[in-house]
Amino acid sequence: METSPARPDAERSGSPAAAGDGRGSVELQGVTKKFGTFTAVDDIDLEIGDGEFFTMLGPSGCGKTTTLRMIAGFEQPTQGEVLIDGQDVAGLPAYKRPTNTVFQNYALFPHMTLEENVAFGLKRKKVPKDEIKRRVADELERVGLSGEATRKPAQLSGGQQQRVALARALVNLPKVLLLDEPLGALDLKLRKGLQVELKKIQEEVGITFVYVTHDQEEALTMSDRIAIMNKGRIEQCAGPEEVYEKPATTFVAGFIGVSNLLPARVISGSEVAIEDGPTVSTPDAAGFTTGEELFAVVRPEKLEVSTPGQAPGDRPGIEGVVESSLFLGTATQLGVTVADGSKLTVLVPNASEEERQRLPGGGARVYLSWEPEHMHLVTESPGEDGTENFQPMQTQDQGDQTK
């Protein structure tokens, strides 16, 4: 209570239902959800730690919302268990769970003022009136809407509504806050600003955030850990850097920014043979069995372009023909077709105009080389061709920033 009343920490210590008591963990054990014969979520296991900013990332329809709804209690798993704070919550209805949700469309109560919206959860918990008043005022102040307390949601802009939705959930200090694409409906500029704000708030209150998004950039910038989902399964669950640098599958490599996939085969515990290309020694190979077919991933900015025959040193490389050249401002993007017919993307930073002029144009034969440590091995996603998921260039830039 030593800080000003606007400080959220102050009332957290004063409230008996305070979160941040170190027990906001979520665990999914073999959770499957079927709708009829369709499997929306397929046998997933997750362990989310207390106070973690955990993101579920994946394309539309991969089962992110369904997973979140099972944690919130709106859906019951067909199989498997959900544990919150170590407790199996099977059969516990949504209104009895220690979670709160920020819905994608906000779902603000249109017939109530902002104040009433934010106070709704506290009233259900029978928190004393004056405490409700104080906490609601503090929360509205935190999200910068004190002046609008008596307005109705319909009188607010999208960004403001999003803040109210956040305040309405956060004011209850849940053990776990579930956020379903909370910034999905906002324009880019607003989204960027709120990303920073959300992350700050999460660090401030220390509540576990389970965040759903299909925006890889958002996931990379905000999360402590990311689970990348595809077709109801989790393909990889790791920190943002690991996900970006060491994707586990072709799908992950494709979904997190542009990746070049070269078919390859493991020939020993320390070497892989690139199809129609060189044999490269890499410590990554130790994780696979000899003879396994997989893919070597090299990020577009890690490929170096040179004239065939003039290759620098003993770097592994592959020959190809330039198909396209695209000026992107800070970089030039080359499309190169290599021997086995696959198309690689190369990103050459634009240092100066004259350097750019020297870049090979369409039809030129080039040699693409890379440092062995920049090459990473991934397995093919089950039933998935990772190359389908190549993302537009902006994504690549974002990936760079996170490193």
Partner 1 sequence: MNLWSRIRENAVLYIGILVIFYMLAPIVVIAIFSFNDPTGKFNFEWAGFTTQYWAGAFDNEEINRSLWLSIRLAFFTSLGATILGTLIALALVRYEFFGRKAANLLIVIPIATPEVVIGAALLSLFVYASAALGFTTLLIAHIMFSISFAVIVVRSRLIGFDRRLEEAAADLGAAPLTTFFRITLPLLAPGIAGALMLTFALSVDDFVISNFNAGAEVTFPLYIFGANQRGIPVQVNVIATILFAVTIIAMTFVILQQRRAEKMVEKRADDDKKASVAIPI
Ligand X SMILES: Nc1ncnc2c1ncn2[C@@H]1O[C@H](COP(=O)(O)OP(=O)(O)OP(=O)(O)O)[C@@H](O)[C@H]1O
* Residues found near partner 1 in the complex (CB under 8 A): 72-74, 93-96, 99-101, 103, 105, 107-111, 120-121, 124-125, 152, 154-160, 168-169, 172, 187, 189-190, 192-193
- One of 51, 63, 77, 121 touching ligand X (CB under 6 A): 63
Euclidean distance between CA atoms 261 and 256, whole angstroms: 13
| Coil, strand or helix at 51 | coil
Euclidean distance between CA atoms 403 and 401, whole angstroms: 5
Give the pairing type, strands 208-213 and 176-180. parallel
User: Is position 61 an interface residue for ligand X (rule: CB under 6 A)?
Assistant: yes
Query: What character string, x for contact with ligand X (CB under 6 A) and - otherwise, covers 183-222?
Result: -------------------------------x--------
Instruction: List the strands of the sheet with 317-327, edge to edge.
Output: 304-306, 365-369, 317-327, 331-338, 343-349
User: Is position 35 an interface residue for ligand X (rule: CB under 6 A)?
Assistant: yes
Query: Among residue numbers 64 through 93, which ones bind Mg ion (CB under 5 A)?
Result: 65
Asked if 266 contacts 291 with a C-beta cutoff of 8 angstroms, the reply is yes
- One of 25, 55, 65, 223 touching ligand X (CB under 6 A): 65
User: Is position 55 an interface residue for Mg ion (rule: CB under 5 A)?
Assistant: no
Residue 40 or 167: the one with the smaller Cβ distance to Mg ion is 40
DSSP-derived letter for residue 148 is G
**Assigned token pair, 360:** 């090979």
In which element (H, E) is residue 74 found? none
Euclidean distance between CA atoms 136 and 33, whole angstroms: 37
User: Is position 40 an interface residue for ligand X (rule: CB under 6 A)?
Assistant: yes
**What residue type is 120 in one-letter code?**
F
Orientation angle between helical segments 158-170 and 114-124, nearest 10 degrees: 20
Out of partner 1, ligand X, Mg ion, none, what residue 189 binds, judged by CB under 5 to 8 A for its kind, is partner 1
Out of ligand X, partner 1, Mg ion, none, what residue 214 binds, judged by CB under 5 to 8 A for its kind, is ligand X
> What minimum distance in Å lies between the beta carbon of 183 and ligand X?
13
Residue 24 or 182: the one with the smaller Cβ distance to Mg ion is 182
List of residues contacting ligand X (CB under 6 A): 35, 38, 40, 58, 60-66, 214
